[in-house]
Amino acid sequence: MRSSDHSEIVIALAGNPNSGKSTIFNELTGSHQHVGHWPGVTVERKEGIARRDGYTFRIVDLPGIYSLSAYSQEEIIARNFLLDERVNVIVDVVDASNLERNLYLTTQLLELGLPLIVALNMVDVAEGMGQKLDIDKFASLVGAEVVPTVASKGIGIQTILDKAVSLAQAGRINPRSARHSPEVEVEISNLQRRLKVSPQCEPRLRWLMVKSLEGDQDAKMRLARCSSDPDDTLRKLEETRAHLEYGFGGDVEAVIADGRYGFVGGLLREIVTRAPAADKDAVSDKIDNVLLHRVFGIPIFLGLMWLTFELTFRLGGYAQKWIEHGVNALGIRAASALPPGPLSSLVVNGVIHGVGGIIQFLPNIVIIFVIISFLEDSGYMARAAFLMDRSMHLVGLHGKSFIPMLMGFGCNVPAVMATRTLDTREDRLITILINPLMSCTARLPIYILFTGIFFSSGGAMVIFSIYALGVLLAVASGKLFRKVLFPKAASPFVMELPPYRMPTLRGTLLHVWERALLFLTKAGTVILAASVVIWALGSLPWGTQFAGPDSLVGHLGRAIEPVVKPLGMDWRAAVALLFGIGAKEI
């Protein structure tokens, strides 16, 4: 989405996971944001609008990444956006309490040649740890604007927009690139003199050269396309890489990474003054001593999950009844207001009751996402993933998938919605595929009915066995799906334990609003259309018994009856299966 409007400033928010990037995005955009997906993938794309002093800021929240290497889907998305789209300013959100890890990404963003603002977030946490940061010296050493922020309290947020306006008005201001070892810098300078590239590639030439020397194939192709003689460019690049490998006697990528960490280490020595270390553990460590205890950790986690389960379905059950009464009352009023006939039947049975039956799940979805958002923003969700990670490896998943799997025992609808919190597309898909094997509460009455009919005793053990069989099938299916659908090795999963924080009410409400809006949008489009189609199949031709033998779906059921007859079913069962697909899958 490119724009020629000079009053629009495009800001790309970049940063590590758990750096507070999403909180800054919410503070900047408020409710003026849109949640979609990046083209061709299931990774969420968040984009919002902010207005200030006659400028319109289009703010894009890039996926959380640790580097600009093309290893994960999130890294590919972020770097392609920074390289291919019109970006006026990059805002690099850095966790001030964990600078060494966060600044590794900053060293790569500096090489892109784009105006850069470093949002030094959670400075209050850093100060609480006894760290004093020299902001002015930081800015002068990296050649970029540095803004201290506390996003959870809204501190420094408007300063980011002011700095963005200044950078946009001043035109392109290249920050100072991170310096590598003298031998590497000499080779980079020599290579730059030997290459002949188009002027459009000049601003990002250093980044392309460094990434190409690291062995990044996409960067190599980009660098070749920038040259009038791609083959000669690739030849010179390989000569330089071979010379560095010979000189260092090792992998160039490791040498460059060491150089970046060396730059970060030197920078921290210049800008950070540490108070004498305290004798007592940090607050987060004290809480972890309890919540991650080898004996009590899992019981505490299971207790919290039980509470989540109970709140979601008990409180949600009350709200579901209110919505059900409201839908019935609306149906009665609509039926009395419309003359009997196809239109009345369509509105009452097709639209109101069709969509109303799905809207009843909205309270469960809102409650589960309030709890998940609170647990995630507080830092506990990462601990839950850590506790269950080893067990979930049996299914070919990571620990974070345990929450949606557990929710599946209550209802698969909010459980599938909860998979949006998972980090990778593969984990989301596998968790969704095996979640129906978790027996939801709606199946329990059926289990009890069948157990009473076919088993004269031991009913409790039979029902328990059915639940256990579902879990075992989920384990086997997860392993199968991982091997068949995603045969490549799973991407490395960094188990990061961020410090505990008190979630903000605004951030929690925005997260819940995003999820609820997605659900309501689907209910008002896809589900509404499906309800109308099901009504038409069962009601037409008008005057026939609903879903009877003379209806459209009755004819369709008889057409597919030969398929289900070997199972002992007739056309009525075929009709029930057709309607069941719509009810369960759509």
Residues 258-293 have pLDDT tens digits of: 888 888 988 998 999 876 544 444 677 788 888 888
Q: CA quadruple 459, 462, 468, 474: dihedral positive or negative?
A: negative
Secondary structure (DSSP) of 15-56: E-TTSSHHHHHHHHHTT-EEEEE-TTS-SEEEEEEEEETTEE
**Same domain? 435 vs 456:** yes
Secondary structure (DSSP) of 290-342: HHT-TTTHHHHHHHHHHHHHHIIIIIHHHHHHHHHHHHHHHHHHHHHHS-TTH
Q: CA quadruple 180, 181, 184, 186: dihedral positive or negative?
A: positive
Q: Is residue 509 part of a domain?
A: no
**In terms of residue numbers, what domain contains 498?**
297-503
Q: Which of 48-62, 219-233, 343-357, 444-458 has the lowest mean pLDDT?
A: 444-458
Structure confidence at residue 442 (pLDDT):
65
Q: Is residue 453 part of a domain?
A: yes
**From CA 32, how far away is CA 29, in angstroms rounded?**
5
Structure confidence at residue 298 (pLDDT):
84
Q: Alpha helix (H) ranges present in 129-171? A: 135-142, 157-170
**Same domain? 270 vs 333:** no
Q: Mean pLDDT, to the nearest integer, of 508-514? A: 80
Pick from 205, 202, 271, 282: nearest CA to 237: 205
Q: Backbone phi, then psi, for 225, in 5-degree steps?
A: -70, -20
**Same domain? 57 vs 96:** yes
Please tell me whether residue 287 adopts helix, strand or coil conformation. Answer: helix
**Same domain? 416 vs 555:** no
Q: Is residue 2 part of a domain?
A: no
**From CA 513, how far away is CA 534, in angstroms rounded?**
30
Please tell me whether residue 197 adopts helix, strand or coil conformation. Answer: strand
Structure confidence at residue 95 (pLDDT):
93
Q: CA quadruple 356, 357, 358, 361: dihedral positive or negative?
A: positive
Structure confidence at residue 279 (pLDDT):
40
Q: Is residue 161 part of a domain?
A: yes
**Same domain? 451 vs 476:** yes
The CATH number of the domain where 223 resides is what?
A: 1.10.287.1770
Structure confidence at residue 120 (pLDDT):
95
The residue from 111, 143, 170 where one domain ends is: 170
**Same domain? 394 vs 245:** no
Band of residue 107 on the pLDDT scale cut at 50, 70, 90? very high
**Same domain? 34 vs 104:** yes
Band of residue 510 on the pLDDT scale cut at 50, 70, 90? confident
Q: Mean pLDDT, to the nearest integer, of 227-236? A: 89
Band of residue 387 on the pLDDT scale cut at 50, 70, 90? confident
The CATH number of the domain where 153 resides is what?
A: 3.40.50.300
Band of residue 175 on the pLDDT scale cut at 50, 70, 90? low
Under 8 Å between Cβ of 348 and 335: yes
The number of residues in the chain equals 586
**Same domain? 34 vs 125:** yes
Compute, in degrees rounded to 10, the torsion defined by CA atoms 541, 542, 546, 549.
-40
Pick from 469, 446, 448: nearest CA to 459: 448
Under 8 Å between Cβ of 517 and 362: no
CB atoms inside a 10 Å sphere around CB 394: 12
Structure confidence at residue 1 (pLDDT):
38
Q: Is residue 279 part of a domain?
A: no
Pairwise pLDDT comparison (123 vs 304), residue with the higher score:
123
Q: What average pLDDT does the chain have? A: 83
**Same domain? 373 vs 341:** yes
Residue with tokens 């099901």: 534
**Same domain? 407 vs 460:** yes
Give the chain's domain count. 4
Residues 312-344 have pLDDT tens digits of: 777 888 888 898 899 899 999 999 999 988 888
The residue from 139, 170, 201 where one domain ends is: 170
Q: Is residue 289 part of a domain?
A: no
**From CA 86, how far away is CA 84, in angstroms rounded?**
7
pLDDT at 47 exceeding the cut of 80: yes
**Same domain? 342 vs 245:** no
Structure confidence at residue 276 (pLDDT):
56
pLDDT at 4 exceeding the cut of 60: no
Residues 431-484 have pLDDT tens digits of: 999 988 888 766 766 776 677 778 877 777 887 788 889 888 988 898 898 888
pLDDT at 6 exceeding the cut of 60: no
Please tell me whether residue 395 adopts helix, strand or coil conformation. Answer: helix
Structure confidence at residue 548 (pLDDT):
82
Q: Which two tokens stand for residue 182?
A: 């003298």
Q: Which of 69-78, 165-174, 334-343 has the lowest mean pLDDT?
A: 165-174
Structure confidence at residue 377 (pLDDT):
79
Residues 130-158 have pLDDT tens digits of: 889 999 999 998 889 999 999 988 899 99
Helix (H) and strand (E) counts in the chain: 27, 9
The residue from 170, 195, 230 where one domain ends is: 170
**Same domain? 478 vs 550:** no
Pairwise pLDDT comparison (449 vs 397), residue with the higher score:
397
Q: Is residue 435 part of a domain?
A: yes
Structure confidence at residue 91 (pLDDT):
96
Q: Mean pLDDT, to the nearest integer, of 16-23? A: 88
Q: Which of 43-52, 98-107, 387-396 has the lowest mean pLDDT?
A: 387-396
pLDDT at 528 exceeding the cut of 90: no
pLDDT at 513 exceeding the cut of 60: yes
Structure confidence at residue 278 (pLDDT):
45
Q: Is residue 291 part of a domain?
A: no
